[in-house]
Structure 1
């Protein structure tokens, strides 16, 4: 069976995550590549092809007026999980662009939030790809659920 070469993001994660605080270092590197993500101080806790988990800690900076995690901070965590998953999973001949997001807010976010993005390997084809995203509280209650729509195209030839 032929195994595809890991993407640059997957190779970086595999290299760095072996060390103490490796996931924190990896998360900081990703946040430097896309600085807006640093606003939630994300922590990638698990990354493998077609799946990423990002933790958003409940802290004052991400609270809303009722002291729960603001849904926009959760959306940011879901988008980071999706982006890291996409960059670590997409076949080498393809590229992706986000086209939209459709989410349902299903419960109050009263704790740290675990944001999960996942697809099936066979979904990496030209056209629209709907990435399933789900945010869970510390008791595994779904607080946000939906999809992020990506547009998948061929990379241009150089």
Structure 2
């Protein structure tokens, strides 16, 4: 089990502080590992192999000039969800690096946004060879269920060195 998934499972089930406080602690720690992610204050709600979800709270620091969650904040949330999913899912003999992102903005982000990243198990066990491309499906959803951003983040999966 990866360190990220192990930390999530421990934090989200702490009997003393409860799952809500534990998931917030995990979210802060995750943001410190990759400091740029902390700028959106992600709140992870689900983390398991092949699936991750986090919430970007709508607040002034992530809004654009029309008062909606800024497009780059949305992309930052999608990348954070993807990164947590990748760390929780990738086999121990492989490594990943993002190659690109292809997204469409489909509606105004007028509330907190739930960012979702998903893959299929067989994507991670493909023949490794020298490496291969893996597309992670991503989307951001408003509180009312409307998708505001969707697309994919493309990863390069290669053998772990050493």
Q: TM-score range by the shorter chain?
A: over 0.9
* Counterpart residue number, 2:154: 149
| Count of paired positions | 152
* 2:98 counterpart of 1:103: no
Distance 1:41 1:81 in 2: 12
Secondary structure, counterpart of 2:37 in structure 1: helix
Return the offset for 1:66.
0.3
Gaps of 5+ in 1: 1-5
Secondary structure, counterpart of 1:138 in structure 2: coil
Q: How does 1:1-158 map to 2 (within 5 A)?
A: 6-19=1-14, 20=18, 21-124=21-124, 125=126, 126=128, 127-156=132-161, 158=162
Return the offset for 1:131.
0.3
Gaps of 5+ in 2: none
Secondary structure, counterpart of 1:64 in structure 2: coil
Q: What TM-score does the superposition give when structure 1 sets the normalisation length? A: 0.94
Distance 1:138 1:15 in 2: 28
RMSD: 0.7
In terms of mean alpha carbon deviation, does 72-81 or 122-131 score higher? 122-131
Query: What's the CA shift string for 1:110-130, capped at 9, x where partnerless?
Result: 000000001001001330000
